[in-house]
Every structure is written in structure tokens, then in C-alpha cells.
A and B are shown apart, each in its own frame.
Chain A
Amino acid sequence: MRNYIIKRILSLIPLIIGITFLVFIAINFIPGDPARIMLGIEGTEVMAEQIREQLGLNQPVIIRYINWMGQVVRGDLGLSLMTRRPVMQELMMRFPVTIQITFFGVIVSLFLAIPSGVLSAINRDKLIDFIFRILSFIGISLPSFAVGVLLILFMSKTFNWNPPTGFVNIWNEPLKALTILALPVIALATRLAASISRMTRSSMLEVLKQDYIRTAKAKGLKERTVIYSHALKNSLIPVLTLIGLQIGYLLGGAVIIEEVFSLPGLGRLLLTGIHNRDYPIVMGCILVIAISFALVNVVVDISYSLIDPRIKYE
């Protein structure tokens, strides 16, 4: 198992080099000169040239990428072109926001999706199944930002309450953090909950058809035991795969949700970085997102063997 984990993590290295290289090359083609943007309209060409020299922007793109990677390996992501603050520091400030929204998004959606999926499956073709299926269909068809905007509208019209902006650490001020996080998390969780619920339902229906479920029922086990210890556990593998795949989308969704709720997370940092042609910031965000996305998939792979002991990794 340990060897497998090490092997999986090592296999991420070429993937991360690949994606960062692609993005590095791509943003090099973005029209607009960062030196010019930094100087504003009053800067002269001589001053711009000086800045390009200082920041190494006049070197070939491959050399710049190798230099950047060399720095990254040493844990240095460079300085933001705009604020001149270390990119690492910016990321450390912003990443917890995105992580918290994504993490709670997953928790809330699991909390909604697993019970509704199970209830739908065991009451197949009854009213409750029908209601949950319609709800989950609506859920997968509404973009998270629209849910976010509609939630804000609903809360302000019904309760005259607007979500607070800004961000506080959940460990320091848990109550305030929860009021800030509640709406963004619900908005983000809706789609994930809907797709997990659909997957749980169909996977559960598949498992309920198996012989061992009939055996379990025949030997007189309680319905609840059959469903929760026999059926649910065995239907979780495809659900887990889906969660692994969806967390990536969730990270992407968090970027937009941060914009809707004005939360100072990684997504907004990325958007401002793109807007300002702040390459170090953009690359830092891309690196963090690519690594998190890859790590989530490793964790999902490993957790298969926790749910199903028959799956062993050598």
C-alpha cells in the first residue's frame, strides 16, 4: 500500500510539469505587456524595457519556464508583478478560503445526496423517488453561480438579509465564518449533491438486485441492516469515483462562486492575476489547483480499498 501511494504521488510529477508548462506557454501568448500594465499610461518605453530586464521578461519562454520550475522546487514561487509580495504568501492567504468552500461543499452535498439517493432507490417508482429525481434533475441543470445569485435574492427579499462579505478564519470566529460560508457552500453543493444522489440511486438499485441482498433478507435480517450494512457500502464505489471527478469541477465552480459572493479565494486571485497579466500569480494559482486536483484523485483511489477490502494495491 505504501509503495502504491509513493508510486502514485511520483506519477503526478510529469502531469504537473506538463500542465504548468502548457499554461506557461499559453499565458505567454496573452496580448498585453505586463511591464506596460505596471507602468500605466505615463511610463516610457525605456522604463518598460528596464522592468522587462529586471523581471527577466525579455528571456525566451522556455528559459523562463525552467527558471520558474527551478524556483518552485526550492519552494519559491516568485513575487507578484503587481503587489511585489511573495506569491506563496498570497496563495497561503487565499487557498484556505477556497479549500473551506470546497470541503464544506462536499460535506453538505454528501449529507443531502446519500440519504436522498438511498431513499429514492428503496422506494423506486414511488412518489418520494419521483420527487427526489425531479429535484436532482433540476440540481444538475442549474449552474452554481445562478443558484448563488438566486439564493442572495431569496434571502434579501424574504429575510431582508444580505450575506456578509470578506472572510474570517473558521477556527477564530466559527459563527461568523459559518454565516459567510453558508450561502456559497449551498450554491456550490447543489449540483454535486444532485449528481451524487443520481449516482447513489442507480448504483444502489444495481446492488439491490444482487443475490446476497436476497440472502440477507431471507435469513431474516432487518431491512435497515440490509440496506445500510450490505447494500449501501457496496454501492459506494461508483459514487466515490464520481466524487473524485467532481471535486475538480467543484474547484472550478468555487472560482465562480467566490466571484458571486466576493470571497477572497484562489479563484478571485486567479481572475485578478489574469486581468493584470500577473504571470507569477497566475502560475502559482494554476500550480496549486493542478496539485490539489491530482491529490484528490490519489486520495479517492486509495479510499477504494478502505470501502472494499477486496481492492488491494501492490
Chain B
Amino acid sequence: MKRIIRFIRKNWIGAIGGFFIIIIILIAIFAPLITSYTPTEMNLLDRNSPPSSRFYFGTDRFGRDQFSRIIYGARVSLQVGLISVGIGVIVGLFLGLIAGYYRGIFDTLIMRFMDLLLSFPSILLALVVITVLGPDLKNTMIAIGITYIPVFTRIVRGSVLSIKENEFVQAGQALGASDLRLISRHITPNIMAPVIVQASLALAGAILTEAALSFLGLGIQPPAPSWGAMLSESRRYMELAPWTIIFPALAIMITVISFNLLGDGLRDVLDPKINN
């Protein structure tokens, strides 16, 4: 608790980001309590109706309540963000620890492969992966997760290389600690700061990529509510129902800004290189 208060005092902009994220998470969890319609429920008599006290954000061309779709869309975005970044972090930690700790052939093989993945625009990499796996929620998370593996592998490997030279690691080695113990007890806890910072920024990126893939029709499939897909579906009717464009765009923007703010804030606190 003390640490949280210190973080808020030291970095109120990051704290605002964190505050918004907590609200978005609560909205996603309590979606059924907040909304009066289900996200796929069609009210054909109320198609394309503007925002009102009945439909706070208006309705789309099928008469679906935009407010409900956006609230439930938060679930999709957060889920994709957390799980895909989780995939990137877990696999990246594993590969980065092996490459940085054991060096040699493991290092060369892993890092060359990572260079290969980084030598291609990540959104296109995700696009190829999702085409191979087939578009749905699970595969969207896998595809985005894969694009984050090289990012985290590099960060972890770099940190392991510098931590390994510390005396406490050498002392552990001299005392006869096993590789597994050294990695899990001594190295991993000390390399988590840059990983956490990168993860919070990656969450913003993952949410944007999901929106982009769904926009192209290759991510979350209709009628499931995804902010990207909502933007894409409403494009043709935007002159008739501009609210179907504006609210999903705002939802993406606010969520991504929150994660970026938190990421920036965490970086200021956790990154020893930034002292101002």
C-alpha cells in the first residue's frame, strides 16, 4: 500500500492512467449490471437511432445498443490485451533467460530467430499468423502474442546479461546454487522492472492491433462486440449514424491512453536511467 501511495505522489499522471484502467476493468467485469441490453440484441424498430436516454450511445444498423456493445467490447479488448501480452511475456522470459544465462549456441539460435521476426512489420506478422490459424478470439490473442515474443526476449536477455555479472549472482554460484535456483530466485526478480514497463506499453499496442485486425475482418468475428470491428461495420453508414463511429473510436483512444500513461509513469519510477 505504501508503495502505491508513493507511486501516486511521485507520478500522478501515471496514477491517472492506472485509475482509468481500474475503472475500465470494473466496467468489463460488471458489464451485465451496467447495461440494460445484451450486446447482440437487435431492436429492428430502433435502427440507427441517435444517442438518447434509452440508448446512451445510440444504436447501429441492426438496432443494437452501442453502449452495451462498447461496454462488452471492453471485455474483448482487455482479454486480448492481457492474454496476448501474457503470451509474449511468458515465452519471452523463457527464451530470454535461456539465451542470456546459457549464452553460446542457444543464444545465437534464439536471437537470430528473434531478429528474423523483428525484421517484418508486426501487424503484418500477426496478419499472416491469423490467416494460417483462422480468425477468432483465441487465434487473435495467439497472433498478437507471437509478435510480442521477440520484444520481450530481447529485453529479458539484455537484462540477464547485465544482472549475471553482479556479485550476488556469482556468490550464489560459489555457494553451489543450481541454475534453476539462480534463475528463479536471483535473476528473474531483478529483471522484472523493464519487463513490467514494457508490458504495460505493450498492452496499449496489443489493444490497437486487435482493433486493427478486427477492422480488417481478421480478428474477432461478428456479432461479438469488438471496437475495431464496430468501426469497420459502421463505416458504410457513418453519415447516417456518426455515433457508431465516434464512440468506438473514443473507447479505443481512452483505453490506449490509459495504458500509455501508466506505462510512462511506471517507466519514470522503475527505470533507473531516467532521473528527471
Residues of A whose CB lies within 8 Å of any CB of B are 15, 18-19, 22-23, 26-27, 29-31, 137-138, 140-143, 145-146, 149-150, 152-153, 156-157, 205, 248-249, 251-253, 255-256, 259-260, 270-271, 274, 286, 289-290, 293-294
Contact B131 A153 (CB under 8 A): no
Contact digits for B191-212, partner A, Cβ 8 Å, 1 yes 0 no: 0000000000000100010011
**Interfacial residues of chain B within 89-129, with CB under 8 A of chain A in the complex:** 115-116, 119-124, 127-129
Q: How far is the CA of A31 from the CA of B129 in the complex (A)?
A: 12
The answer to whether B87 has its CB under 8 Å from any CB of chain A is: no
Which residue on chain A has the smallest CB distance to residue B118?
A: A248
Contact B119 A19 (CB under 8 A): yes
Q: How far is the CA of A290 from the CA of B248 in the complex (A)?
A: 32
Query: CB-CB < 8 A to A150: which residues of B?
Result: 245-246, 249
Best-buried of A145, A286, A293 by chain B (most CB within 10 Å): A145
Contact A15 B119 (CB under 8 A): yes
The answer to whether B142 has its CB under 8 Å from any CB of chain A is: no
Contact B121 A249 (CB under 8 A): yes
Contact A145 B231 (CB under 8 A): yes
Once A140-B260, A143-B212 are accepted as A-B contacts, the answer to whether A149 and B231 lie under 8 Å apart by CB is yes
Contact B245 A153 (CB under 8 A): yes
Contact A145 B212 (CB under 8 A): yes
**A30-B132, A142-B256, A290-B119 given. 11 additional CB < 8 A pairs?**
A27-B128, A29-B132, A143-B212, A143-B228, A145-B215, A153-B239, A249-B121, A251-B124, A286-B120, A286-B128, A294-B119
Query: CB-CB < 8 A to A274: which residues of B?
Result: 127-128, 131
The answer to whether B51 has its CB under 8 Å from any CB of chain A is: no
B20 shortest CB reach to chain A, Å: 12
B200 shortest CB reach to chain A, Å: 13
Once A27-B128, A27-B131 are accepted as A-B contacts, the answer to whether A256 and B121 lie under 8 Å apart by CB is no
Query: CB-CB < 8 A to A142: which residues of B?
Result: 249, 252-253, 256
**B interface: dominant SS:** helix
The answer to whether B32 has its CB under 8 Å from any CB of chain A is: no
Contact B116 A15 (CB under 8 A): yes
Contact A143 B252 (CB under 8 A): yes
Query: CB-CB < 8 A to A138: which residues of B?
Result: 253, 257
B62 shortest CB reach to chain A, Å: 19
The answer to whether B158 has its CB under 8 Å from any CB of chain A is: no
Once A138-B257, A149-B238 are accepted as A-B contacts, the answer to whether A252 and B121 lie under 8 Å apart by CB is yes
Once A138-B257, A143-B252 are accepted as A-B contacts, the answer to whether A252 and B131 lie under 8 Å apart by CB is no
Which residue on chain A has the smallest CB distance to residue B261?
A: A137
Q: How far is the CA of A203 from the CA of B256 in the complex (A)?
A: 24
B144 shortest CB reach to chain A, Å: 13
